[in-house]
Amino acid sequence: MRSMAIMQPYFFPYLGYYQLAGAVERFLFYDDVQFIKGGYIARNRVLLGQQEWMFSVPLAGASSNKLITEVKVDVGKWPTWKSKFLRTLAQNYVRAPQRDQGLALVEEVLQLEDDGIGTLAAASVTKVMKAIGRTTRFQRSSEMAIRRDLTFEDRILHVCQREGVELYLQSPGGAELYSCARWEAEGIALRFLRPSFPKYLRKGPWLPGLSIIDILMHVELQELSTMLDQYTLFTN
């Protein structure tokens, strides 16, 4: 069954995002839509000691009046930010069992392909998925010439119809917005993915929903791949 999921690109998102990406054949980074300031496109959180720490990529001229593809990383601040970020992670996870693995993956992602925050956020997903051996095909909506006269659910449905999708997976919040019956009438099965957050050994407290970085520092890649399959699908 040809399956797809569509999400805005997030920077080192939580486990549920990777579970969604791992559950489909094709995953579309929805990057030709409005940039949301204060969202997770350019930031996320880990634990420093026992306290949550929100890290944010420095951006140049970020605005909710721009599309994600139009928002750029501040390349002037980037070298200092990158060095400090990696140093903070190295110090914070000094006793984590998979620290070297995690740092290597983070550093690989931070090798900027271009100055777009959408590109950087997408890389934080695609490179992790590649490292654990997943074969999901990733695309960006900005490269697909999708109709601009449609919005919200209608635009997503149009993409799926155009691409011959038979099963569309959506994050659980979509159950309040999308109707499985409507999609069924259009010939597409719609399911919502409820993520799970299996506990893993770590020094200090365990908190679900942290950036994937925390898991990468503590869990072997093979175990992470198994964690990606621990979800449930539901309808409305």
pLDDT of residue 214: 98
pTM: 0.97
Q: How far apart are CA 85 and CA 216, in angstroms?
A: 16
State which residues of the chain have pLDDT below 70.
Answer: none
Residues forming beta bridges with residue 231, ordered by sequence position: 195
CB of 68 closer than 8 Å to CB of 41:
yes
pLDDT of residue 106: 98
Q: How far apart are CA 46 and CA 90, in angstroms?
A: 13
pLDDT of residue 19: 98
Q: How far apart are the first and last CA of the chain?
A: 21
Using one digit for the tens of pLDDT, what is the confidence trace for 75-87?
999 999 999 999 9
pLDDT of residue 146: 86
CA distance readout (Å), 142 to 29, 119, 168, 228? 9, 11, 19, 27
Tokens 């503590």, located at residue: 218
pLDDT of residue 21: 98
Beta-sheet strands, E only, within the chain: 3-7, 26-29, 43-48, 51-56, 59-60, 72-73, 137-140, 167-170, 189-195, 231-234
- For 103-131, the three-class secondary structure string (H helix, E strand, C coil) is HHHHHHHCCCCCCEHHHHHHHHHHHHHHH
pLDDT of residue 1: 84
Cβ neighbours of residue 54 closer than 8 Å, sequence gap 6 or more: 43, 44, 45
pLDDT of residue 98: 97
pLDDT of residue 70: 97
CB of 123 closer than 8 Å to CB of 113:
yes
